[in-house]
Structure 1
Amino acid sequence: MDSDQKLISFDLKAEMGFFKKPDINDGIYLTYNMLHKPALLGILGAIIGLKGYEKEGIMPEYYSRLEHLKIAIQPLDSDKGNFQKGTISYNNTTGFASTEAGGNLIITEQVLLHPAFRCFLRLNLENETEKKLYDHLWSYQSEYIPYMGKNEFGAWWNNTKIYSDVNPFGFDRVYSIASLFMKNEAVSQYVAKSLSLVGMGHEEPVFLYFERLPIGFDTTLHQYKYGDFVYSNATFKADMKLEGIGEFYDIGNDTIIQLR
């Protein structure tokens, strides 16, 4: 990592969250379980006062200015990667909301309850925008109120950290990955057999959580681009290289993350 670059993290939390999926199931608007990069960029843009969507067909300022950032996301306090979910129903009473009498439409949304994520950012302090983001995250200041997917779900952050012992990971030993990571092949075949006695109180059972998540926007079609992600407590064999789909770093204490 270059001398003018810093790797930092902060813990992002909210009482509720909603990262809308483009599909609907049985009349319910569904949420992604995990915070994804496009949503995180919107939150970072709010923190430093970058503009959001203003004109149809034009990418928002925050995305244009921040899409190059390398980030990693680690869920906190989840149940094997899953956050508790609930549903909220409300009336959309705008005149064009419904063709029914009175123009009243019942909207039901699935929401995340108490979502929390450790967000890692590699920032170039020679870049004015990234330096401003660095300063705001450290001073816990925000130009606009950040929210977890919807205006109603205000978010906050704490536990901002900087990492000084950061080294590229060379896949030269068995390893675990602390963050979500994008995969390009099946990973279950690479899970290393544990030497501990599972079920004897010595080790948490191994889990693999999978989710297809947005990784950015197709700026022509203005639709999400997607990647297949994994979150796991498993130890993987050294021959699972995961090359060409991100940068992997050991950030100290044998903690591996994928920046992309």
Structure 2
Amino acid sequence: MKAISFKLSGKTACFRKPDVNQFAYFTYNNIHKPALLGLLGAIVGLGGYTQLHDKNRGLKEGKLGYDDGYPEFYEKLQTLKVSITPLAPNGYFSKKIQTFNNSVGYASQEMGGNLIVREQWLENPAWQIMILDDESGEYQKIAEYLENKKAVYIPYLGKNDHFANIDEVKVLELESGIEDIKISSLFDEKTLQISKIAPKSELSFYFKEFSPFNLQKKYHFYDEYKQLIFTNHKINEGDYSFVFSNDGKNYAFI
């Protein structure tokens, strides 16, 4: 089994949570699968939310020509299996609240139309990303663009304020099986159950985040969330169907 691997990083990032928008907007700690697929789609030139909105502009739902499907990037890439490994000692990135003005005039009903925006940003985030080779045309195109450092659209980390760096691109040979019964990447809590016994030779860490996993078709909201774990605890049991090893480490693909 093969996979293409690369380091994804940036000075800042913001993967905005949709459930809080009062005092400040907050970000997920890690890039989630829909956002990662959007970044990959941008690299190879697939359409996104804006292109779909423009296509449907002036058309009524259910009428001829109306596209009620997913954005092109998600339609074509949703079956890809990816592995996400936070490049931080315990999986946690520093965050700060940034304050800025939205003064387009119609942003606020207050005098002057100015809206004060508070937004939480990740600082210096970095991940190792792997994409499993499923022998599809989409995978082959993504691998070719990554290896040749090409991109149709500029990739960014959540918003176009946050440019993405892509380095250390390489093709890896993966092996099935578990060597030391630890997972070095994020993994689904329901798929692999960890031991509650702390590791003896190193300081224990356990990071869990409720992360978006796929999109709802009609409105493109996050439709399903998964509890993703990053820990150095051993795995007691679980489904190892999409766990693969490279260089003595095990990675879960979601």
Q: What is the TM-score normalised by the length of structure 1? A: 0.84
- Residue 159 of structure 1: which of 162, 168, 175 is its match? 168
1:208 equivalent in structure 2:
206
- Tell me, yes or no, if structure 1 residue 27 matches structure 2 residue 23: yes
Report the Cα distance in structure 2 between the residues aligned to 1:38 and 1:129, rounded to whole angstroms.
16
8 Å CA contact retained: 1:43, 1:146: yes
Which ranges of 4 or more aligned residues in structure 1 deviate by more than 3 Å? 55-58, 185-188, 191-196
The alignment's TM-score, normalised by the length of structure 2, stands at 0.86
Percent same amino acid at aligned positions? Answer: 34
Aligned equivalent of 2:250, options 234, 247, 256 = 256
Change (3 A) 1:58 1:90: farther
Offset of residue 100 of structure 1: 0.8
Alignment of 1:112-131 (within 5 A): 112-125=122-135, 127-131=136-140
Distance in 1, Cα, partners of 2:89 & 2:98 = 22
Indicate the larger mover: 205-214 or 95-104.
Answer: 95-104
Task: Show the counterpart of 1:111.
Answer: 121
Q: What is the DSSP-based 3-state SS (H/G/I as helix, E as strand, rest coil) of the residue aligned with 2:18? A: strand
Equivalent residue letter for 2:20? I
Query: Which consecutive unaligned segments of at least 5 residues does structure 2 have?
Result: 54-67
Counterpart among 70, 81, 84 of residue 70 in structure 1: 81
C-alpha contact (below 8 Å) 1:181/1:230 kept by paired residues: yes
Shift of 1:26: 5.2
The letter for the 1-side match of 2:146 is: L
Unpaired runs of at least 5, structure 1: 197-202
- Aligned counterpart in structure 2 of residue 16 of structure 1, from 4, 12, 15: 12
- In 2 relative to 1, CA 233–135 (structure 1 residues): closer, same or farther, beyond 3 Å? same
Matching residue of 2:190: 184
Q: Which residue in the other structure is 2:3 paired with?
A: 7
For residues 41 and 200 of structure 2, the distance between their equivalents in structure 1, rounded to whole angstroms, comes to 45
SS in 1 for 2:36: helix
Alpha-carbon shift at residue 142 of structure 1 (Å): 1.1
Task: Report which stretch shifted further, 155-164 or 178-187.
Answer: 178-187
Give me the whole-angstrom Cα distance separating, in 2, the residues matched to 1:59 and 1:46.
15
Counterpart position of 1:200: none
Q: CA deviation at 1:209?
A: 0.3
1:80-137 CA deviation, whole Å, 9 max, x = no partner? Answer: 1110111111111233311111111101100000010000101244x33221111111
Deviation at 1:163, TM superposition (A): 1.6
Distance 2:191 2:7 in 1: 30
Number of aligned residues: 238
